[in-house]
Chains A and B, each alone.
Chain A
Amino acid sequence: MEFQIPVLAPAAAEITLLALTCLVLLVDAFVSQARRDITYALTLVTLVCTAWVAAFMTGNGTQITFAGHFVNDPMARVLKLVVLATAGMVFLYSRDYLERENIYRGEFFVLALFATLGMMVMISAHSLLTVYLGLELLSLSLYALVAFNRDSGNSAEAAMKYFVLGAIASGCLLYGMSILYGAAGTLDLATLSARVADGETLSDLWVLVGLAFMLVGIAFKFGAVPFHMWLPDVYQGTPTPVTLFVGTAPKIAAFAMAIRLLVDGLGSVGDAWQSMLLVLAVASMALGNIVAIAQTNIKRMLAYSTISHVGFILMGILAGTDAGYQAAMYYTIAYVIMATAAFGMVILLSRRGFEADNLDDFKGLNRRSPWFAGMMLIVMFSMAGVPPFLGFYAKIAVIAAAVEANLTWLAVLAVVLSVIGAFYYLRIVKLMYFDDPGDEPAVEGPSVLKLALSFNGLLILALGLFPNGLIAVCQHVFG
């Protein structure tokens, strides 16, 4: 067989990111601690360049390259930009925290950039192999990031849990892929889809077994019940900037992985994975919302809140219609925007040697800083699904998709559980507005963080008042 150089243009963004990340790695090795800002600046430049390339240089429509392993389609373009923007926000939020806690090191930036690359590969995956490749690049970077504060016992514990459970989940995913590969004889998702639909060449049983194992991997990455155990511990144990990163952008990648594997690859056995997702979705919404009430640590609370949001995302996917996928994508993006702001608030309230991760640290915030209390109010009500904020429309879209798919009972159950969930978001608002600040100090933070956080909060409000743009983008992707 003759070797052909593949068309590289569709992967231009990934290539740019990889090249520039290697440059950052190289430069960082020669930069002294006092001049670490060079790494920081280079990292931001990397993201901006990659985003520019991803937005303008990768063509239109659907292009498949690398012998069918890599696809660049409208969904990939949108999700990559969201991932890059999220990563950028994470860096803006994190810089001063890292410096203050003496963990302002190059590794953070390089690892996060490699994780971003992994996510972009996952988003553009068009074969089982590429999905796995991207996933491992992402996961290994994240394990290292979680453990990155070497002096902290909690960090090490969280990283250990994450690594062991993550390795099992990856193993399951790989096992499921190998079964499918054995049964269908192909790694390519389009071919796989055709052969599964054809049904003559492979038995249903093998497809189902392979599917079940792959679903474990997807559910783990999302943090859906019962594969959610790692989430609260990892969120709580890691330095907040890392939590911010782990808790936001990878959900986009997980969503992309679910769409690529389930919809693109195994769409013809939709009934099978829809019923599996149904169980995961209901369990996630129920457990996430109820257990969150009992938390006193805000990072744990947000972890359980994430689990319940994942339930909503899965509910959109399991509707099995274009409207459902649109809704799930919209929900995922909305979730990432809200979670970024929520963890950003925790970073803002933290001080040297003090993590503001107890709920009580929010006490009387309205007296200490009315502006940021207002921002957190927006985030909390948005997460609870109260209009006129972004989270409300995300919930509407998902619920509408469920009703359209004749799952009205699921829609009713979801809204009831979201009312239960509203309680713990209200508690934060209560702490901020109704309680006395006690001896909590005034809010002081770097102006970059304050600006970014204000932008983030106002974005949630603006996308709530004018929701059409983002919804239209999601509709354009599937439709």
Chain B
Amino acid sequence: MLSDFPLLSALIWLPILGGGALLWLGEERPDAARVTALLTSLITFLISLPLFTGFERGTAAMQFVELRPWIESFNVNYHLGIDGISMPLILLTTFITVLVVIAGWDVIKTRVSQYFAAFLIMEGLMNGVFAALDAMLFYVFWEAMLIPMFIIIGVWGGPRRVYATVKFFLYTFFGSVFMLVSLIYLYMQTGSYEILDFQSQSLGLQPQIWIFLAFLFAFAVKVPMWPVHTWLPDAHVEAPTGGSVILAAIMLKMGGYGFLRFSLPITPDASRELDWLIIAASLIAVVYIGLVALVQQDMKKLIAYSSIAHMGFVTLGFFIVFAVYARTGALEGAALGMQGGMVQMLSHGLISGALFLCVGVLYDRMHSRRIDDYGGVANTMPKFAAFMVLFALANAGLPGTSGFVGEFLVILGSFQANPWFAFLAATTLVLGAAYTLWLVKRVLYGEVANEDVAALDDLNRREFLMLGILAFFVVLLGVWPAPLLDVMGPTLDQLLQQISISKLVP
């Protein structure tokens, strides 16, 4: 009976309807709005748990499938389903949204209903992106997501919010339209918009390369990869805390998800031909952006650049598979990089979200993000300092935290591809440690810098709760990643099988 319940649809539409209800409620009763938002996000999180418990391990087939015609004239279906790649990302989305609602609880004072409505609508759309198995449906969710984010940054953001949000919107919109043309081209070839049909469609090398580049542009902007990353620091810095968290924790993951769902399986030959492009850009991101992060004066900017560097690991992990396969002839080694990339995505979702929440905690008290304005915070906020140190170390890849697992797997995989890749990638262990620990040192330790810092209050119960939950999962994933790897395993194996077979028309 339970299996007939359209769980994925509920995960998409419940938050959207909740958001609509909040808009209807208006701005007169902010407390009612807060409670409605929290309840909606909690219920959504709870009904997303059966995805994990009811997930059939050991198969790469799509599960929880819903299929009904949507736009018959274009042969577009409302087709939802999840596999080992998308299921963890949906759980991450529903989980992070609850935290975002808690984080905005009494910080947001203006237009409360609209604020929470935007986040709830975002949540539904993001679940839709991860659950869609029809390319047009995917694209609709993918693009629609820009609207609430545009509003979130623009209305509740910092002083340069208008510049940042317009840049964010146009950048990502520009990236995706090429994907749209590719999807339509693929539709002309296969006669349907099913992503699984796209994956089994054979294509010549030339079209594959064009399609690959179009996808690359869309996903690279979203990840973001060097050199199309410049929107991210602006957007992050100007966005309200909740917006930064959603951006870093989930929206960036969509680029990585896109590579796994579209680029690699649909255009495997072009991916093989052009893997050097991605590997080079990823390594530049890891090294160069790591250096850039080192010199930032603004805490949010520093974490934003650190995000770009960490996402470089993800793309590196996904695209070294060809080099590994060419060198060793075995798929097992290649799987390491891919698993590492996936774990890294989830772990970064938790850690970067946590770090942005930490900055938010400080910003709410001091209204400054400049590192120079702080110093000795640990003296007045010991509980907060403990959390921040934990997340900073996780960000630097400390063993025992989730940050370590992903980075280690990717470095291990890239060693099999080319020791130099591994060497360059491993510099992040130095650079990442340098910029995060230096940040911690300047903000948390030393003498109390000024009167404002001396007057700080430590975490209240709400903040303690949200950071505590995150800390729990960061450590859990670090010491016991096995459940996650079990879930992803079959799907990634099947993906590797798919991309090891050429699709070229004989």
Query: Which chain B residues (161-202) contact chain A, with CB distance < 8 Å?
Result: 161-162, 165-166, 169-170, 173-174, 177-178, 180-181, 184-185, 187-188
**Known A381-B147, A426-B166, A434-B154: A388·B177 in contact at CB below 8 Å:** no
Contact status A471-B73, CB under 8 Å: yes
A171 located at the interface, meaning its Cβ lies under 8 Å from any Cβ of chain B in the complex = no
Proximity string of chain A (409-452) to chain B, C-beta cutoff 8 Å, 1 when within and 0 when not: 00110011011001100100110011000000000000000000
Kindly list chain A residues whose C-beta atoms are within 8 Å of the C-beta of B143. Answer: 386-387, 392
User: Contact check: which of B136, B139, B155 meets A434 at CB < 8 Å?
Assistant: B155
A403 pairs with B184, CB closer than 8 A: yes
How far is A397 from B184 in the complex, measured between Cα atoms in Å?
10
Residues of A within 8 A of B451 (CB): none
By CB atoms of chain B within 10 A, which of A396, A397, A412, A422 has the most? A396
Residues of chain B from 38 to 79 with CB closer than 8 A to chain A in the complex: 70-74
Per the CB 8 Å criterion, the residue count for chain A at the interface is 35
| Minimum Cβ distance to chain A for residue B147 (Å) | 6
Which chain B residues border A430 with CB–CB below 8 Å?
154, 162, 165-166
CB-nearest residue of chain B to A418: B177
Q: Which applies to chain A's interface (DSSP): helix, strand, loop or mixed?
A: helix
Known: A370-B23, A423-B170. A416 touches B154 (CB 8 A): no
Q: Are A433 and B71 in contact (CB under 8 A)?
A: no
Indicate if A74 sits at the interface (CB-CB under 8 A).
no
Closest beta carbon of chain A to B342's beta carbon, Å: 28
A387, A412, A422, A423: residue with the most chain B Cβ atoms closer than 10 Å:
A387
A residues near B147, Cβ cutoff 8 Å: 377, 381, 386
Give the nearest-CB partner of B180 in chain A.
Answer: A415
Q: How far is the CA of A468 from the CA of B173 in the complex (A)?
A: 25
In the assembled complex, the CB of A335 is this many whole angstroms from the nearest CB of chain B, namely 19
Q: A386-B143, A400-B187 are in contact. Are A472 and B72 (CB under 8 A)?
A: yes
Q: Bound state CA distance, A234 and B143, in angstroms?
A: 35
CB distance A408 to B181 under 8 Å?
A: yes
Question: Does residue A467 face the partner (Cβ distance < 8 Å to B)?
Answer: yes
B178 contacts A415, C-beta separation under 8 Å: yes
Partner of A404 from B111, B151, B169, B188 at Cβ < 8 Å: B188
Residues of B with C-beta under 8 A to A408: 181, 185
The answer to whether B154 touches A422 (Cβ under 8 A) is no
Provide the residues of chain B in CB contact with A418, threshold 8 Å.
Answer: 177
User: Is A211 an interface residue, CB under 8 A from the partner?
Assistant: no
Closest Cβ of chain B to A378, distance in Å, is 10
Beta-carbon contact of B162 and A386 below 8 Å = no
Is B204 part of the contact surface with A, judged by Cβ < 8 Å? Answer: no
A160 to B165, CA, bound (A): 43
Q: Judge whether A399 is part of the interface by a CB distance below 8 angstroms.
A: yes
* Interface: A68 (CB within 8 A): no
B181 near A374 with CB under 8 A, answer no
**In contact, B180 and A399 (Cβ under 8 angstroms):** yes
Q: A396-B184, A403-B188 are in contact. Are A433 and B140 (CB under 8 A)?
A: no
B 95-148 contacts with A by CB, 8 A: 111, 114, 136, 139-140, 143-144, 146-147
Q: B26 in the interface, Cβ–Cβ < 8 Å?
A: yes
In the assembled complex, which residues on chain A have CB atoms less than 8 Å from the CB atom of B215? Answer: none
A475 interface contact, C-beta 8 A: yes
> Is B150 engaged at the interface, CB distance under 8 Å to the other chain?
yes
- Report the bound CA distance from A374 to B151 in whole Å: 11
User: CA separation between A419 and B155, bound complex, in Å?
Assistant: 22
With both beta carbons as reference points, the residue of chain B lying nearest to A415 in the complex is identified as: B177
B177–A416 touching, CB < 8 Å = yes
CB distance from A71 to the nearest CB of B (A): 25
Q: Verify B180–A386 contact, CB threshold 8 A.
A: no
Chain B 13-29 interface 0/1 with A at a Cβ cutoff of 8 Å (1 = within): 00000000001001100
In whole angstroms, what is the CA distance A434 to B164 when docked? 12
Say how far A318's CB is from chain B's closest CB, in angstroms. Answer: 17
By CB atoms of chain B within 10 A, which of A370, A434, A471 has the most? A434
Q: Report the nearest A residue to B128, measured CB to CB.
A: A388
Looking at the complex, which one of B71, B144, B151 makes contact with A468 (CB distance below 8 Å)? B71
**A388-B144, A426-B169, A471-B74 in contact; A433/B155 too (CB < 8 A)?**
yes
Known contacts A370-B23, A386-B143, A434-B155; is-contact A403 B185 (Cβ 8 Å):
yes
* C-alpha spacing A399/B144, complex, angstroms: 19
- Once the chains bind, are B170 and A411 in contact (CB under 8 Å)? no
Contacts of A381 in B (CB 8 A): 147
With A468-B72, A471-B71, A471-B73: A422-B181 Cβ-Cβ less than 8 Å: no
Give the residues from 358 to 416 in chain A that come closer than 8 angstroms, CB to CB, to chain B.
Answer: 366, 370, 374, 377, 381, 386-388, 392-393, 396-397, 399-400, 403-404, 408, 411-412, 415-416
Known contacts being A387-B139, A399-B184, is A472 close to B170, with CB within 8 Å? Answer: no
- Provide the residues of chain B in CB contact with A426, threshold 8 Å: 150, 166, 169-170
| A419 pairs with B177, CB closer than 8 A | yes
A403 to B182, CA, bound (A): 10
In the assembled complex, the CB of A209 is this many whole angstroms from the nearest CB of chain B, namely: 36
Minimum CB distance partner of A434 in chain B: B154
Tell whether, in the assembled complex, residue B162 and residue A434 are in contact, meaning their CB atoms are under 8 Å apart: yes
What is the minimal beta-carbon distance from A426 to any residue of chain B, in angstroms? 6
Please, which residue of chain B has its CB at the minimum distance from the CB of A403? B184
A-contact bits for B387-419, CB 8 A (1 contact / 0 none): 000000000000000000000000000000000
Complex Cα–Cα for A412 and B184 (A): 11
Minimal beta-carbon separation of A393 from chain B (angstroms): 8
A377 — which chain B residues lie within 8 A by C-beta?
147
**A411:B181 contact, CB within 8 angstroms:** yes
Alpha-carbon gap, A430 to B146, bound state (A):
14
Kindly list chain B residues whose C-beta atoms are within 8 Å of the C-beta of A387: 139-140, 143-144
A468–B23 Cα gap in the complex (Å)?
27
Q: Looking at the assembled complex, report how far the CB atom of A389 sits from the nearest CB atom of chain B, in whole angstroms.
A: 9
List residues of chain B with CB within 8 A of the CB of A471. Answer: 71, 73-74
Interchain CB contact under 8 A, B166 and A468 = no
CB distance from B25 to the nearest CB of A (A): 11
Query: Is B155 a contact partner of A412 (Cβ separation < 8 A)?
Result: no
How far apart sit A457 and B141, CA to CA, in the bound complex (Å)? 20
Select one of A388, A404, A419 contacting B173, CB under 8 A. Answer: A419
Cα distance, A381 to B26, chains bound together (Å): 22
Q: What chain A residues lie within 8 Å of B185 (beta carbons)?
A: 403, 408
A388 cross-chain contacts in B, Cβ below 8 A: 140, 144
Q: List 13 A-B pairs, Cβ < 8 Å.
A: A370-B27, A392-B143, A397-B74, A399-B180, A408-B181, A415-B177, A429-B150, A429-B151, A433-B155, A434-B154, A471-B74, A472-B72, A475-B73
Apart from the given pairs A396-B180, A403-B181, A419-B177, 19 other A-B contacts in the complex at a CB distance below 8 Å: A370-B23, A381-B147, A387-B144, A396-B184, A397-B74, A399-B180, A399-B181, A400-B74, A403-B188, A412-B181, A422-B169, A423-B170, A426-B169, A429-B154, A430-B162, A430-B166, A433-B155, A434-B165, A471-B73
Q: Which 9 A-B pairs have the closest CB atoms?
A: A415-B177, A387-B140, A471-B73, A434-B154, A419-B174, A468-B71, A400-B184, A387-B143, A403-B184
